[in-house]
Structure 1
Amino acid sequence: MIFLRYILLPIVPIYYLVTWLRNILYDFGIKKSVSYNFPVICVGNLSVGGTGKTPMIEYLINLLKDDYLVATLSRGYKRKTEGFQLANIDATAESIGDEPYQFYNKFKNDILVAVDANRNNGIKQLQLIDKQPDVILLDDAFQHRKVKAGFNILLTTYNNPYFKDIVLPTGNLREPRSGAKRANIIIVTKCPKDLSEAEKNSILKQVDPETNQHVFFSSISYSNSVISSEATKAVEDLEDFTLVTGIANASPLVHFLGDKGLKFEHLNFKDHHDFSKQDIIELNKRALIVTTEKDFMRLKQYESLKDKLFYLPINVVINDEVRINKLIKDFLKIKL
């Protein structure tokens, strides 16, 4: 795969030019973006792969849900439905996608969860319901420039920052690095918990933010317990289990469990893996399965796995929560 990417290096300038030109057309108003007179917050990235968008959306939900009616709007990647869908008690990972279903499963009594590949139509439909949301969180919509979000949060990982990358197909960027200028906040995610001030300053220089941009650093905090549909186990009590992951980058999770001295087999599937009947047959042979919360949303439908399937919750820890929370809430005060 890596070799193929280098073979495709001559295509990089073409991809760069096409995406750069697309952005120019939007920047100069030749292609139209729709803006809204209420708060729309976009969480996204420049690269393909996992930068931590789902935990960041959940961070925002927890920050805002007590004071505002929050709606999340995603495209519903790999769902088996089309058009606008508003999650209800009949929702599944197949009907709205695994990440939106995770939002609904955790916050169904507090927020609205919707999916639509056409974000403008999704926003329009949310405005038509009886109880309209006060704020809409757009999940993975940084490149969806038909919507002009009022506030953009751009995520980039510590190990693979956008400023050291190039565009597809050889690199991982969906658009040129200059796209980062559209962000209000840039968060370097999945940082080591002991990241020094000197290294933060070095990264900050490489980000080279605009005067109106704010840069933060975040890390992943894993729970001390794993959770099933009916039970909880302490991580330190896990023995000879199978770790099942279908995410973009499972390395941090593998390292966390390995550092605990735990022994486990790792079945590593591609991101948003659609588990087949054969996959489930194989998983049924395992005595104990630990997975991510996103994968749990797709696997918990199988009754045969019910007693052996657990997920490990995670949270985002941001280096200066007071400041980032104030920036977000100040934006809402202006728009509402």
Structure 2
Amino acid sequence: MLVKYLRLLLLPFSFVYGMAIVLRKKLYDWGIMPSVKFDLPIICVGNLAVGGSGKTPTTEYLVRLLADYKIAILSRGYGRKTKGFVFADGNATAESIGDEPLQYHKKFKNVTVAVCEDRVKGVEQLQENHDLIILDDAFQHRHIKAGFNILLFEFRKLGILQFLLPAGNLRDVFSSRKRADVLMVTKSPVPLLHVAQQASINELQPNKNQPVLHSYLKYGNLKHLYNGESLSLESIKDFEIFLLTGIVNPEPLIEELQKWSKNIHHEEFPDHYAFKIEDLKKFKSAFENGNGKEKIIITTEKDSQRLRAIGFEDLLVNLPVYYLPIEVELFEEDKITFDELILNYVKSNRRNR
């Protein structure tokens, strides 16, 4: 709480940052700063805030929807220790390409995954051999002109006063939403009441032809970090849970786990945190000193990519360490609308190779 109040002292810097964002936005809108357009379908998944809106599961939803096409996912590769354009291959690690691209690479064997800070250069490397490219987190990268922009907003944060960086977590001004083709409200409650759905639309004030659609998270079975063993959430009812996260917003995950156990110990790290041996030794010690008759360690799928780093296995391999996969799903009418929009866009913009 103290940190939140201290960040308010940074509001003057947020004002300066906002002025710079608006100026940059206008320069692109006026064509003074050029945007590059490519002759193949490019779908951008982005948000206005710093992380936590569900870009990764939304990108995975698109991959499943467009499985009949040859897809490339292009990301910046946040948190990697490499520079420039890098393909994901058999030697890829979270350090070489970032945790989210590594997750895509391991999950979708028929999809090309690459990282590059410069999205234009990245697309130039990928365009010849693919039917379409999905840009992960590139809404603010105006140097490239995506053909279809999906902008995500977290349900519980709509209607809450938010500030630009560094006082808050917004990296773009709210008016930028007008550039998007679809406004998707993520992590919606289930069931979604009509009044809540309408409140989202009223808050976002979409353009006439700008649909506001709602998605929610769907949790899978727990998967062991190393041996592939699978457990249902029902099977860990009343377990003592040791939760390890390095993501922006772990609250939805905690709420899901609280359905099955009230005995949860949460060790929270910053987003994309590079775990250290000392961190895991301390966490392992806390687990071993737990009082529960039945205990389990749970992390996120994104965090699991970094926990598989060389040097950690000896510490964790004999422990019950599981990650909880998530998927995005849309409510029935919104799903029909969204799928049709995406499929029609790709079909009508696909080039003959």
Fold in common (TM above 0.5): yes
How has the CA–CA distance of structure 1 residues 54 and 314 changed in structure 2, closer, same or farther, with 3 Å as cutoff? same
Give the deviation of 1:262 after TM superposition: 4.6
- Residue matched to 2:291: none
Query: 8 Å contact 2:221–2:230 — kept in the other structure?
Result: no
Structure 1 CA distance for aligned equivalents of residues 302 and 178 of structure 2: 30
Alignment pair present for 1:28 and 2:38 = no
Unaligned runs of 5+ in 1: none
Query: 8 Å contact 1:156–1:162 — kept in the other structure?
Result: no
Of 155-164 and 7-16, more deviation after overlay is shown by 155-164
Query: 8 Å contact 2:99–2:303 — kept in the other structure?
Result: yes
The residue type paired with residue 60 of structure 2 is: E
Query: 8 Å contact 2:158–2:200 — kept in the other structure?
Result: no
Query: 8 Å contact 2:219–2:324 — kept in the other structure?
Result: yes
Query: 8 Å contact 1:74–1:139 — kept in the other structure?
Result: yes
Aligned residues: 331
- Residue matched to 1:316: 328
Alignment pair present for 1:300 and 2:314 = no
Alignment pair present for 1:243 and 2:243 = yes
Query: 8 Å contact 1:188–1:218 — kept in the other structure?
Result: yes
Structure 2 CA distance for aligned equivalents of residues 42 and 250 of structure 1: 24
Q: String of CA shifts for 1:267-323, please: whole Å, max 9, x gaps.
A: 111111100120122244335421000000111232221343210111111122111
Q: SS where residue 81 of structure 1 aligns? A: coil
Structure 2 CA distance for aligned equivalents of residues 126 and 96 of structure 1: 16
Q: Please, which of 39, 42, 45 is the counterpart of residue 41 of structure 2?
A: 39
Structure 2 CA distance for aligned equivalents of residues 333 and 163 of structure 1: 38
Q: SS where residue 255 of structure 2 aligns? A: helix
Unaligned runs of 5+ in 2: 289-295
Structure 2 CA distance for aligned equivalents of residues 271 and 254 of structure 1: 16
Query: 8 Å contact 2:93–2:102 — kept in the other structure?
Result: yes
Structure 2 CA distance for aligned equivalents of residues 15 and 2 of structure 1: 19
Structure 1 CA distance for aligned equivalents of residues 160 and 339 of structure 2: 25
The RMSD of aligned alpha carbons is: 1.6
TM-score (norm 1): 0.94
Query: 8 Å contact 2:159–2:203 — kept in the other structure?
Result: no
Q: String of CA shifts for 1:178-209, please: whole Å, max 9, x gaps.
A: 10011000111111112201111122122111
Structure 1 CA distance for aligned equivalents of residues 111 and 282 of structure 2: 36
Q: SS where residue 42 of structure 1 aligns? A: strand
Structure 2 CA distance for aligned equivalents of residues 12 and 111 of structure 1: 39
Structure 1 CA distance for aligned equivalents of residues 318 and 55 of structure 2: 29
Q: SS where residue 157 of structure 2 aligns? A: coil
Q: SS where residue 145 of structure 1 aligns? A: coil
The residue type paired with residue 117 of structure 1 is: E
Structure 2 CA distance for aligned equivalents of residues 162 and 176 of structure 1: 15
Q: SS where residue 146 of structure 1 aligns? A: coil
- Residue matched to 1:220: 217
Q: String of CA shifts for 1:244-263, please: whole Å, max 9, x gaps.
A: 01100001111111122352
Q: What is the percentage of aligned positions where both structures have the same residue?
A: 43
Q: String of CA shifts for 1:101-151, please: whole Å, max 9, x gaps.
A: 0000111x21000000111111111136xxx11110000100011111000
Structure 2 CA distance for aligned equivalents of residues 28 and 163 of structure 1: 31
Give the deviation of 1:164 after TM superposition: 4.2
- Residue matched to 2:183: 186
Query: 8 Å contact 2:240–2:261 — kept in the other structure?
Result: no
Structure 1 CA distance for aligned equivalents of residues 249 and 96 of structure 2: 25
The residue type paired with residue 51 of structure 2 is: G
Q: SS where residue 83 of structure 1 aligns? A: coil
Structure 2 CA distance for aligned equivalents of residues 106 and 299 of structure 1: 16
The residue type paired with residue 192 of structure 2 is: L
